[in-house]
């Protein structure tokens, strides 16, 4: 049990540095009993102290040798645990706390206490900030560190919900859309993403949506429910997959790839699994299908010389014609 003048912490954790991803700590000032709660991703022995602004000022004033650190938790959910400790002790409002708020990711004072409260950056300052951030690129070493830090990271349901709420209804501004237009990924970047998402690297590898999740994506829950794409949007979608823009442009599926796709689809569209099972096409749909087939050009199979049109000609004739092999007998 850790004690200060006005608060006490119950500590119960198991140290297992190799299998954990972070920890929650509490620094206590041995001179005035003030304390600071924080968390850190990494080992408890990696030399990390803390990032709180007031806390760092206190270290500068009293010296780190006059502080004692206690580990409150060590494990994968260190952010969530820090949040629990901060809220439980109401650290932001506690007279002996160096914490400025009760958020696990730190921050400045809120409201009138914030240094930018009631102020705005000038256009000159904004331009300087923008210029400083332009053309900044992570080094390979930096990228590797970021990648390593996020590899195997588990996002809690609490964090997922916060992210979902933050992005619900969010739309890109006209300025953001203008910046994104015309941008294209390099072939190197595309191949890198392909490798990351293949097989076991795909975040959905070996998993399936539950019926509950599928229901959430159907009907009125679908973002396109009751809506239709405009002709302009349909044209853009079509153009984005034509010619050189198509991912298979100039390529052909191998026999092995074709066989894999065939095997993966077998039985998926049969009986009750078929999307049109138990349904009938409306007269309008039947009419549209009929008109589409009428406008198709007639073709002649080079093997049996049958003339016709429609998808069945390709399905049963040409390379699949039963008379194809008889010509060589």
Backbone angles phi, psi at 75, to 5 degrees: 170, -170
Share of the chain above pLDDT 70, in %: 89
- What residues contact residue 237 under an 8 Å CB cut-off, 6+ apart? 229
pLDDT of residue 328: 54
Phi-psi region at 312: left, alpha or beta (left = phi > 0; alpha = psi -120 to 50): alpha
What does the alpha-carbon distance between residue 14 and residue 74 come to, in Å, rounded to a whole number? 7
pLDDT of 92 higher than 80: yes
pTM above 0.85, yes or no: no
Decide if pLDDT at 238 tops 90: no
Do residues 163 and 171 make contact, with C-beta atoms less than 8 angstroms apart?
Answer: no
Q: How many CB atoms lie within 10 A of CB 27?
A: 21
pLDDT in tens, 225-234: 888 899 999 9
Question: What is the tens place of the pLDDT at every residue in 15-28?
Answer: 443 444 889 999 99
pLDDT per position as a tens digit, 279-317: 888 899 988 888 888 888 889 998 898 998 888 888 888
- Side-chain half-sphere of 192: how many Cα atoms within 13 Å? 5
- What rounded mean pLDDT belongs to the chain? 82
Q: Which domains does the chain possess?
A: 2-108 (3.40.1440.10)
The backbone torsions φ and ψ at residue 328, rounded to the nearest 5 degrees and listed phi first, read -95, 0
Rounded alpha-carbon distances, angstroms, from residue 235 to 27, 177, 230, 239, 246: 61, 19, 9, 6, 15
Cα–Cα distance measured from residue 197 to residue 294, given in angstroms and rounded to the nearest whole number: 43
Closest C-alpha among 11, 58, 10 to residue 34: 58
What is the 3-class SS of the chain, one letter each residue?
Answer: CEECCCCEECCCCCCCHHHCCEEEEEEEECCCCCEEEEEEECCCCCCCCCCCHHHHHHHHHHCHHHEEEEEEEEECCHHHHHHHHHHHHCHHHCCCECCCCCCCCCCCCCHHHCCCCCCCCCHHHHHHHHHHHCCCCCCHHHHHHHHHHHCCCCCCHHHHHHHHHHHCCCCCCHHHHHHHCCCCCCHHHHHHHHHHCCHHHCCCCCCCCCHHHHHHHCHHHCCCCCCCCCHHHHHHHHHHCCHHHCCCCCCCCCHHHHHHHHHHHCCCCCHHHCCCCCCCCCHHHHHHHHHHHHCCCCEECCCCCCEECCHHHHHHCHHHCCCCHHHHC
CB neighbour burial string for 232-255, b if at least 16 within 10 angstroms, e if fewer? eeeeeeeeeeeeeeeeeeeeeeee
| Selection from 141-155, 197-211, 226-240, 270-284 with the highest mean pLDDT | 226-240
Residues in the chain: 329
Sign of CA dihedral 17, 19, 22, 24: negative
| pLDDT 10s digits, 168-219 | 877 888 888 877 777 778 888 888 888 888 888 787 888 888 888 888 888 8
Q: Which of 82, 85, 91, 70 is nearest to 1 (CA)?
A: 70
Query: Averaged over 157-176, what is the pLDDT?
Result: 81
Which residue would you say has higher pLDDT here, 88 or 6? 88
């Amino acid at each position: 049990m850790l004690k200060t003048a006005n608060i006490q912490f119950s500590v119960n954790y198991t140290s297992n540095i190799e299998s954990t991803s972070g920890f929650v700590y509490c620094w206590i000032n041995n001179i005035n009993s003030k304390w600071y709660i924080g968390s850190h991703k990494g080992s408890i022995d990696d030399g990390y102290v803390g990032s709180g602004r007031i806390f760092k000022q206190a270290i500068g004033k009293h010296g780190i040798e006059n502080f004692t650190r206690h580990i409150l938790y060590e494990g994968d959910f260190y952010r969530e645990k820090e949040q629990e400790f901060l809220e439980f002790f109401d650290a932001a409002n506690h007279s002996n706390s160096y914490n400025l708020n009760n958020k696990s990711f730190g921050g400045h004072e809120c409201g009138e206490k914030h240094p930018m409260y009631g102020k705005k950056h000038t256009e000159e300052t904004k331009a300087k900030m923008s210029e400083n951030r332009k053309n900044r690129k992570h080094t390979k070493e930096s990228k590797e560190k970021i990648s390593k830090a996020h590899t195997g990271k588990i996002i809690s349901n609490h964090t997922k919900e916060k992210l979902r709420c933050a992005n619900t209804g969010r739309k890109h501004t006209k300025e953001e859309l203008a910046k994104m237009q015309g941008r294209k990924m390099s072939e190197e970047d595309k191949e890198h993403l392909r490798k990351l998402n293949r097989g076991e690297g795909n975040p959905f590898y070996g998993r399936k949506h539950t019926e509950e999740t599928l229901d959430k994506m159907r009907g009125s829950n679908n973002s396109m429910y009751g809506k239709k794409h405009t002709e302009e949007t349909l044209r853009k979608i079509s153009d984005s997959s034509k010619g050189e823009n198509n991912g298979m442009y100039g390529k052909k599926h191998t026999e092995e790839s074709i066989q894999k796709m065939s095997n993966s689809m077998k039985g998926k569209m049969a009986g009750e699994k078929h999307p049109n099972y138990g349904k009938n096409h409306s007269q309008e749909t039947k009419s549209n299908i009929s008109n589409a087939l009428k406008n198709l050009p007639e073709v002649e199979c080079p093997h049996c010389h049958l003339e016709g049109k429609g998808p069945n000609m390709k399905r049963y004739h040409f390379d699949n014609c039963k008379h194809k092999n008889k010509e060589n007998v």
